[in-house]
Amino acid sequence: MIICGIDEAGRGPLAGPVVVASVIMKNGARIEGVRDSKKLTRKKREKLFDLILGQADSHHIAVVDNLYIDGHNILKAVMKGMEECIESAGQKNVKYMIDGNYFRLADGREKEIDFETVVKGDDKVYEISCASILAKVTRDRIMAGLHEIYPAYGFDTNMGYGTKKHIDAILKHGPCEAHRMTFLKNILIRIPLFGNENG
C-alpha cells in the first residue's frame, strides 16, 4: 500500500491563499527532523522542504486563492485543494492520509477514495508531516511575495494572520486585493468607508 500524506496551510489568515500539499515519499525514505511544520523554525522548514522534494516519489501543491475563498468559503477551498492533490497522484493502491477530521467532496465522491482523516496527523503520520512542510513553506513564500506588492500590511512576518499590527494597517489603509473580504467583516465595520458611520 502506497501512503500519500495531505495537509494544508493558511486556513485561518485574513489574507492570501490556502495551500494544500500532498506527497508520496520514496519507499523507506525517512528524513531526520520532519514533524509538524508549526513546530519547526522557518529556517528548518526551508531546509526540510528541499530534502523532502529530493526524496519524494511524487508531490503536488495546490494553491487556492482568496477570491475562491470569498466566493465559496474556506472549507470548500480546502476541499478543492485536496481534490486537486488526489487527482494529481493518479495512482492505484494509494491510501490518502489527511490531516484533520473532515474530508468531503461534491456528490459524495470521497466514497470512491481510500482515505483516512487523522486528527493532529501532521505530528503523527510521517507523510502528513512532509506535506505540512511543503504547504507551509510554499504559502510563506507566497506571502513574502505579496509583501513586496503590499508592504503596508507586514505579510512577510504575519503571513496574513490577524495580528494587531496587521489589523491596525487594515484600519488605516483599508484592505488590499490579497485580503479575504469575508474574513474582514468585523474589522471593516470599524472603517467609515465600509461600515455605518452613525454606528
Domain boundaries, given as residue ranges, for the chain: 2-149, 151-188
pLDDT at position 29: 81
pLDDT at position 27: 85
pLDDT per residue as tens digits for the range 10-60: 999 999 999 999 999 998 789 999 998 889 999 999 999 999 999 999 999
pLDDT per residue as tens digits for the range 97-136: 999 999 999 899 999 999 999 999 999 999 999 999 999 9
The CATH number of domain 2-149 is 3.30.420.10: yes
Helical H runs in the chain?
A: 42-55, 66-71, 74-89, 126-149, 155-158, 164-173, 185-188
How would you label 130-169 residue by residue, b for 16+ Cβ within 10 Å and e otherwise? Answer: bbbbbbbbbbbebbeebbeebeebbbeebbbebeeebbeb
Is the pLDDT at 184 greater than 60, yes or no?
A: yes
- This prediction's pTM: 0.93
